[in-house]
Structure 1
């Protein structure tokens, strides 16, 4: 019976998500944004575990320099920014490529253009910041061809399939992080060897083989895949941090991260991923409210306690 209940709950989640997705697409933009802002305000007041972890993460990202009320205000802004991401993600097909291109600014685009002029594919390493789906729409247009990315499997499986289909309608090619017919690393390597490009979200290590880095001055781990793939294929590795502007999006493109950190491949990968972490640290600090990480990043930074239990 419990299995039947679990399947029924999963089915209800999927159907509810699909219905909400369709409804949001057809709401006027001010109404949709207002609705998502309201959800963000509710989440801030509820102080669930994800909100309290976000607060703790933002304390690290701001160097512990904010007073408690300032950190509360920053966390509330970050939740509204995260809500904006979801509102835009749901509405992206309706927003359209023309809107994204018109309202996106890309400092550092020359770094990517230089690599492409050399006939090299590029690997974009991104944090969970701003709207990475809008960034993908812009990048697809700039490339003039699909790129490949990796998606974490969601539950229920039907929800993952909806996200997969959605991103592929935008022009992306998606492989699952786990559970695919072949390892995602092998698929990505073949894609790059064919001269095509890759985008990967790497500020959280979801596996067991992460590379140790210093991130905002604290020990963390990040997936080594972007640097390993660059070393194996000759692709150009670039950190790219997305943030919101008042009317659109900013994509901050970093210089190519060198892979010259020693003779051993392991050392080169570790040094390159530290370069990625350093770029993220500098770029996220410009607008930390647009960094949307409600999960644990540092082993020694648990969620903050609820407001009533803080000293």
Structure 2
């Protein structure tokens, strides 16, 4: 790595560090309810390429919506991300009691029922609402929660984000760790929860499944793990239901009839999980990351 790149990364980290400390000094409701929407709206106007991607994806997935509706949803997407940033920056002062004041979990009893089977739980999730909130709330039930995450290339920022999560008793398993597979198996055998986001087109093993009527390259690791271990698959999502309020939604289990062909079963389970996620995204379109290039990998 060049010296200039190292200096640039240090600058990014120190800026993020200072901002995080400033946010903690600001009242929670002001930072999330005022600053979040303000900077989200700025992002909508300033990040033109991302805004264009969001509108393009929305037009293709909701062809009956007017251009005015498309723009309104796209702007709301950026505002949601602005709120997400300030909520995450506030994690150090959000203890269990304060979290319970802003968030509730629907169908939490499914967790115990699934854990009683003795093979752990795989939470299939998506970038809806604030996905960090549902992980923190679930960990608050006293059940060990592991999230599978990509390492941020700036070490200081990566450590900061991992620290935010672990402060809520959420353990982080980094995708590029040499012992990732071992940690995943160990967690499930220990009766823990593993949460995976499968709604983005990333450079990981996957399969093409139908998503909003188009083939989308989708991570298949969760399906592989479920079929090999017998772990129960539940859907775990967060949705905003007010200016500050969140509702965690747990549903499932997501099941398929085994065909006898492992690869076909992986594709079938990934498709069924994706179908559930798509239905929630249709219900809360303003809360999903439409600026992501979800269909960039083409089927040949």
TM over 0.5: yes
Where do residues 47-62 of structure 1 align in structure 2 (5 Å cutoff)? 47-61=47-61
**CA displacement 1:195-220 (0-9 Å, x = unmatched):** 22211111013224211111111110
- Structure 2 distance, partners of 1:177, 1:238, is 21
In structure 1, what is the equivalent of residue 203 of structure 2? Answer: 207
In structure 1, what is the equivalent of residue 166 of structure 2? Answer: 168
In structure 2, what is the equivalent of residue 36 of structure 1? Answer: 36
- Correspondence 1:230 to 2:226: yes
**CA displacement 1:96-140 (0-9 Å, x = unmatched):** 221222332333334333212333411111100111111111100
Cα distance, 1:32 vs structure 2: 1.2
- Structure 2 distance, partners of 1:49, 1:186, is 39
Q: SS state of the match for residue 279, structure 1?
A: helix
**CA displacement 1:221-243 (0-9 Å, x = unmatched):** 21111111111112100122221
Q: 2:145 aligns with which of 130, 147, 154?
A: 147
After superposition, the Cα gap between the structure-2 partners of 1:155 and 1:48, relative to the gap in structure 1 and judged at 3 Å, is farther
In structure 1, what is the equivalent of residue 16 of structure 2? Answer: 17
| TM-score normalised to structure 2 length | 0.92
Aligned residues: 296
**CA displacement 1:171-196 (0-9 Å, x = unmatched):** 12112112x232x2332122212222
Q: SS state of the match for residue 123, structure 2?
A: strand
- Correspondence 1:287 to 2:295: no
In structure 2, what is the equivalent of residue 257 of structure 1? Answer: 254
- Structure 2 distance, partners of 1:84, 1:208, is 29
- Structure 1 distance, partners of 2:82, 2:53, is 16
| TM-score normalised to structure 1 length | 0.89
Checking the alignment, whether the CA contact within 8 Å between 1:125 and 1:240 is kept in structure 2 is: yes
In structure 2, what is the equivalent of residue 242 of structure 1? Answer: 238
Where do residues 67-86 of structure 1 align in structure 2 (5 Å cutoff)? 67-86=66-85
After superposition, the Cα gap between the structure-2 partners of 1:293 and 1:154, relative to the gap in structure 1 and judged at 3 Å, is farther
Task: Give the unaligned 5+ runs of structure 2.
Answer: none
Tell me how large the CA RMSD over aligned residues is. 2.0
Segment of structure 1 superposing worse, 230-239 or 97-106: 97-106
- Please list every run of at least 4 consecutive aligned residues from structure 1 whose deviation after the TM superposition is greater than 4 angstroms: none
- Structure 2 distance, partners of 1:177, 1:205, is 15
Q: SS state of the match for residue 170, structure 1?
A: coil
